[in-house]
Every structure is written in structure tokens, then in C-alpha cells.
Structure 1
Amino acid sequence: MALRITDACINCGACEVACPNTAIYEGGVDWQWSQGTQLQTVEVEGKILNAALPQDPYTHDTFYIVMGKCTECVGFHEEPQCAAVCPVDCCVLDLDHQETPEALLAKKKFLHGC
């Protein structure tokens, strides 16, 4: 499953720097599929999009994690790095978006080509 950032976030930014997938963005900041990945196009809801097109932020108040880019650090680290570095323990599993370890590894391969 992907992770999410709770309202307890103090906006320190430690999680953003630690993410190997560039899946974490500051509140109010647009995100891109291509940022930190090898993607040039991506299929979203049956449409092929330029991966460099800016996407609307999930929130404007706190840092947020893009579910489609979060792999829980599978294939990179033993544990999710955002949760490991968060000083207030607000990077938690998103129980609404559960994924198997195999699906997370496949997502890593999709994002990075390896």
C-alpha cells in the first residue's frame, strides 16, 4: 500500500528529501509523473499523458504523497524512508490503498525502468 501524510505534519520537509521515488511534494506545489522517474508518458484513466505535465497538488496545507509514485521504498530500502525520518510520525500506511509487495516492486520497475 502507499503511504500518506497525516494532519500532524509540521512541514519540515525531511520526508521529501528521503523519498527515492520523488513521490512527496510540499503542500500547494504541482507534481509530475516524470520528476525523479524515467517516465515520458503515463496512462491515467485510459488516456496517455505527457509525464512532464504538471498535476494539481493533493493538498495546499501540508506535504503530501502521490499514491501512484509511492512504492513504500520497496526495491530501494528495508523500510519506508519517509516514515523513518519523520520527527512526528505522520507518514503512515494508507489503508485505503493496499498493495502487495509484488505490486510495489512492479510499480518501482514502471517508474524507474529497473
Structure 2
Amino acid sequence: MALLINDDCTACDACRPVCPNEAITAGDIIFVIDPLRCTECVGAEDEPQCKLACPADCIVQHPDFVETQEELLEKYTQLHG
């Protein structure tokens, strides 16, 4: 399952540099996570680094992208070869 940044985002940029998949970018008002690149850090870390770095606690599960750990690992492998 991919992650989503909700409207509580303060656009502090703490999440973007810690993403191993470069899935986080600056949107018009808040930061945005690309669900096609987000693996919740599966394959790179033990837990999502963006959630750990976010001072606003605004990163939540994306309701439209349900994936298993195996699917997230496969996505990570495809992104990083």
C-alpha cells in the first residue's frame, strides 16, 4: 500500500530527502507521494522514513493503493534493479 500526504502538510520538506525511491515531490500547496514509486521503504528500510521524518504527522496510508509486502518489494526491485 502506498502512502499519502494529507492536508495537514506544512511543506517543510523533511520527508522528501529521506525517500529512497524519490517518490515525494513538492505539489502546488503540499508535498505529494507518487503511489507508483512508493514502497513504504520496503526493500530499503524497516519502516517508512518519511513518516519518521514528518513533524506534522500527516503521512497516512493511501486508501486506493492496497499492496502486499511482496508487491511492495517487487516494486522496489523494479525501481532499483
Counting matched residue pairs gives 81
SS at match of 1:67: coil
The answer to whether 1:111 aligns with 2:79 is yes
1:37 is matched with which residue? none
Q: Secondary structure at the match of 1:78?
A: coil
2:61 counterpart residue number:
93
CA root-mean-square deviation: 0.6
Q: Which residue of 2 aligns with 1:63?
A: 31
Partner SS, residue 82 of structure 1: helix
Hey, which bits of structure 1, 4+ residues long, moved more than 2 A? Answer: none
With normalisation by structure 1, the TM-score equals: 0.70
Secondary structure of the residue aligned to 2:60 is strand
SS of the equivalent of 1:13 reads coil
Between the aligned residues of both structures, percent identity stands at 52
State whether structure 2 residue 45 is matched by structure 1 residue 77: yes
Q: Counterparts of 1:15 and 1:65 in 2: how far apart (Å)?
A: 10
Q: Give unpaired runs (5+ residues) of structure 1.
A: 28-59
Query: What are the superposed Cα offsets for residues 22-57 of structure 1, whole Å, 9 maximum, x if unpaired?
Result: 000011xxxxxxxxxxxxxxxxxxxxxxxxxxxxxx
- Residue pairs, 1:34-73, within 5 angstroms: 60-73=28-41
Rg larger in structure: 1
Please report how far the alpha carbon of residue 79 of structure 1 lies from its aligned counterpart in structure 2 after TM superposition. 0.5
Q: 1:61 offset after TM fit, Å?
A: 1.3
Unpaired runs of 5+ residues, structure 2, are none
Matched residues in 2 for 1:83 and 1:91: separation?
Answer: 6
Residue 7, structure 1, aligned to residue 7, structure 2: yes
